[in-house]
Chains A and B, each alone.
Chain A
């Protein structure tokens, strides 16, 4: 919402994230350039969600590191499943959770912050939903609500985990417009996606991941037939008898 954007790049150096000792993301190096719009694509179990959590600082790297240049604020949109939709809370209060970086546990919510939250609700097409309980929303409406919270967070780097799942065409078109706006404002956006047509149409950069990085670069090259075949070859099962990884740390 503010015009000035700090250049916010996320650099990965030989990053390995594990579940137990098994790698979920294996020796990944590269950079999400400031203002870039990148899709992360890969088969189920490829480590996409784990990577986003690693980028947000929620999953401690087993090896390598994630470095953030400048003082950028990161916002993560998790998959909807992690939300307790039976919790008795009104939509506006959910949107105002996005103010956490400023309000913290105890600072007051100023009138203009509140007004921004109301605006954000209107921007995602939920005007008039301020006092509606979250439990009464449909899946698509809930996703719109979470986008409104992201708007209020006003982050420099946005990490979106399957943002268009389980929403209808109209909702996903509306939400996609917000993603384009963020890109236009110079924010860095990274989204995990499954719809390859959508990726080819809207996302300039793609990281194709199958635990090991397969390709990272301009979307047309990254999603070449050869690369996609390589990604499909990933063995989903953990190799229990696997020896220690010998690649240079």
Chain B
């Protein structure tokens, strides 16, 4: 038991760094995920993460696997795709989701082509797309912890306005809650969290730790606060077991963590007390009143 669960972390510093980084991420990202689900924006974070790839690739070509360059490139490219899609669809009258899809597909193709052409081997490509525990160096760890801290502080202030804006936008406007401004702040946090995730999880999987626990949380609580706690709990669990899974079976960390989070989601759908399948199949007799 000790060998299986504890020894990998006491033995290897890089595993400890990846673990701490993912735990930090697990505290902030799933909470944002809960609001993305409630705003019917479940796919937005995914588009941002994919769209960041050409920037990450450019950073890689210039500076190798160094965190700041990858991160800066990803930030710029992600913002270009997100803001560009909105501006382009307003200018041409198309639907924003269609423009987003077009831009991120192009970005994904471009990113993979750039890494391959730039002499990056298959190994580098795998690391960038699917993450690697080795990617979490001190700089990346510091970044993940800072982003998580910042996100929690901002969320504490943004909580009421976000709930108000999601639940009843016209009331929020009438009450002067500045819902639009808080929404922008919220989107900024999503971009930061996705980017801080990609060194450990890879650009393709960065969103997994944000969305899967958030989607599963619906089956564990009836109020948005409870859903946030449930999502964080699931994400913490997925981080620890995902990294162990990745180490023992030699799978990239991104898919490992996402698979565990996915299993937690499937379990929630099956046995979760709110709208789960099992409670429905049991068909307990209706109450008297």
Contact = CB atoms under 8 A, between A and B. Distances in A.
Interface string A135-149: 000000000000001
Nearest to B168: A83
A75 B174 contact: yes
Contacts, number: 72
Interface residues of A, number: 26
Interface stretch (A87-95, A175-183, A201-209, A212-220): A87-95
A105 interface: yes
Given A89-B223, A133-B222, A84 B175 contact: no
Interface stretch (B10-18, B156-164, B186-194): B156-164
A4 to B, nearest CB: 22
Contact of B170 (A76, A87, A101, A133): A76
Report the interface size class on chain B: 20 to 34
A78 B172 CA distance: 11
Interface in B198-241: 218, 221-224, 227
A94 B160 contact: no
Nearest to A109: B160
A94 B223 CA distance: 12
Nearest to B218: A88
Given A89-B223, A105-B161, A84 B166 contact: yes
B38 interface: yes
A82 B169 contact: yes
B229 to A, nearest CB: 13
A88 B223 contact: yes
A97 B164 contact: yes
B76 interface: no
Nearest to B164: A97
A100 to B, nearest CB: 4
Interface in B14-43: 38
Interface of B: 38, 156-161, 163-164, 166-171, 173-177, 218, 221-224, 227
29 contacts: A56-B174, A74-B174, A75-B174, A76-B170, A78-B168, A78-B170, A78-B171, A82-B168, A82-B170, A82-B171, A83-B171, A84-B166, A84-B167, A87-B38, A87-B163, A87-B224, A88-B227, A89-B224, A90-B222, A90-B223, A100-B160, A100-B175, A100-B176, A100-B177, A103-B160, A105-B157, A105-B158, A105-B159, A106-B157
Interface of A: 56-58, 74-76, 78, 82-84, 87-90, 93-94, 97, 100-101, 103-106, 133-134, 149
